[in-house]
Amino acid sequence: MCTKRFGLLLLTVLLTGSVLAEIPQQISKFIDAWNANSYALAKQVISPAYTVKGVPQDYVSQVLEQVFSTHGTKIEIVKYLGEEKHYFGTLHRVLARQNENEREITFVIDKKGDIYESNIFQVETRRDRIEQNEALAQHISFDFELYERMILIEGELDGEKVQFILDSGAPIFVLNSHFDQTDNRMTLGLATGVGGSVSSMDAKLIGHLSWPGGEYRDTELMSMDLSELEKELGKPFAGLISYQELEPCEVFVDYSQRKIHLYALDESGEVVGGGKMPKPKQQMPFKLEGHIPVLPCRIGDMELRLGLDTGAQSNLLDLSHFEKLGKLISGVETDTLMGADSRMIETKSAEIKATKVSGKKYGKMRYAFSNFGHIRDAYRLSAEGLLGYPFLSQKPFSINYRKKVLKIY
């Protein structure tokens, strides 16, 4: 099966009461913020890299803001149970009570003194009702439209023929709220993109959505206003097909033939059902950081780590590298880059003579230079930029997220 959709049902541990003196100050402030229904207060002691298991990192802030503002009970800490070393700092254990029920809660305080993680939030994964094209059990292929260096795939949304953008840089499926402005959605808050923060992040209930890789029925999907991207493209689209849809498959993309093949995988990443793939000319192992494949690269004497993103119209490097590259760059221009928040931001762009990706040399490619720091922080990446269309379009390639390998054909 080539599409797995799991709804995220956030179950909060609802507790009540007072805070004991021996509890670290950060935890006390967190408890006070919880009891005051104030995420603004909680943010003073929560790390920007705070994680909630099962929630894509880019949406943690929205989830926390919603939970802090809407829960209806208090927390009572009845006993401090002690501390122990943790990879990210120190783990503190407390005994907490909700009415007559007690359980242990843990808080990880990082080396900067911020709360990095807590099991106060539990996430339950719930499989939404999905109907699947039988062909997807093994292998399916379909055409795509290449428009302004973006891959557009035909589909259907609640009975209407639509197009979706293939964007592996998106962690989960995102609907374009500008395309469908019906009212059956719930505002969640803000998200983070290339250009900064994003407003109008919603959850929207859809009846039926399909694309060649699968179908969703009767489920909530993330929705945000992507009207600026629509305007820049000059073409309407209904949403972004994401890593979450692609991960269960080996995804083969041939830009020259405008063709995509999806090969269903088992849990170990092996192609199931006897599907046969062509033999690759090269295989590049990558490190999967969140949902982004990251590859070792080299430009001149500079060692870099760059992520792969099918939704990136340009290769991207952090602006701090522009001056360092010196004579390796040419054809400098002022350009614009479409951020994940759909805002156009002014950047520099230039051609770089050569890039080695996993030891293989690629010729001249154009890179945009922009601040990559907030993307790196939001997704907790070690990468210093992205490889997009200029790299991926050169030869047919496939991505196997489960085996963590990029194949070049």
Identify residue 94 by its one-letter amino acid code.
V
Q: Is 68:42 a contact under the CB 8 Å cutoff?
A: yes
- Whether the model pTM is above 0.85: no
Q: Is 400:407 a contact under the CB 8 Å cutoff?
A: yes
Residues 138 and 114 in one domain: no
Residue 164 lies in a domain: yes
- Domain boundary at 71, 106, 126, which? 126
Q: How far apart are CA 32 and CA 217, in angstroms?
A: 40
Residue 400 lies in a domain: yes
Residues 355 and 251 in one domain: no
Q: Exposed, middle or buried, 71 (CB in 10 Å: 0-12/13-18/19+)?
A: middle
Predicted local confidence at residue 16, as pLDDT = 31
Residue 272 lies in a domain: no
Predicted local confidence at residue 403, as pLDDT = 97
Average pLDDT for runs of 10 along the chain of length 409: 36 34 87 86 92 65 69 80 91 82 88 90 40 61 95 95 93 79 42 36 78 86 78 89 92 97 92 83 94 95 95 91 90 70 69 95 93 74 93 97 97
Residue 202 lies in a domain: yes
Residues 71 and 145 in one domain: no
Residue 270 lies in a domain: no
Q: Please, what sign has the CA dihedral across residues 256, 259, 265, 271?
A: negative
Residues 146 and 99 in one domain: no
What pLDDT, in 10s, does the model give residues 223-276?
777 887 788 888 999 999 999 899 999 999 999 999 999 999 988 999 987 668
Residues 243 and 313 in one domain: no
Q: Is 218:198 a contact under the CB 8 Å cutoff?
A: no
Q: Token match 């694309």: residue?
A: 211
Residue 322 lies in a domain: yes
CATH number of the domain that residue 149 is part of: 2.40.70.10
Q: Please count the structural domains in the chain.
A: 3
List of residues 6+ apart from 327 with CB closer than 8 A: none
CATH number of the domain that residue 106 is part of: 3.10.450.50
Segments forming the whole domain that contains residue 179? 134-262
- Domain boundary at 74, 109, 126, which? 126
Predicted local confidence at residue 298, as pLDDT = 96
* Residue 22: both structure tokens together: 């021996």
Q: How far apart are CA 372 and CA 304, in angstroms?
A: 13
Residue 228 lies in a domain: yes
Q: With H, G, I as helix, E, B as strand and everything else as coil, classify residue 234.
A: coil
Residues 283 and 397 in one domain: yes
Predicted local confidence at residue 205, as pLDDT = 78
Residue 220 lies in a domain: yes
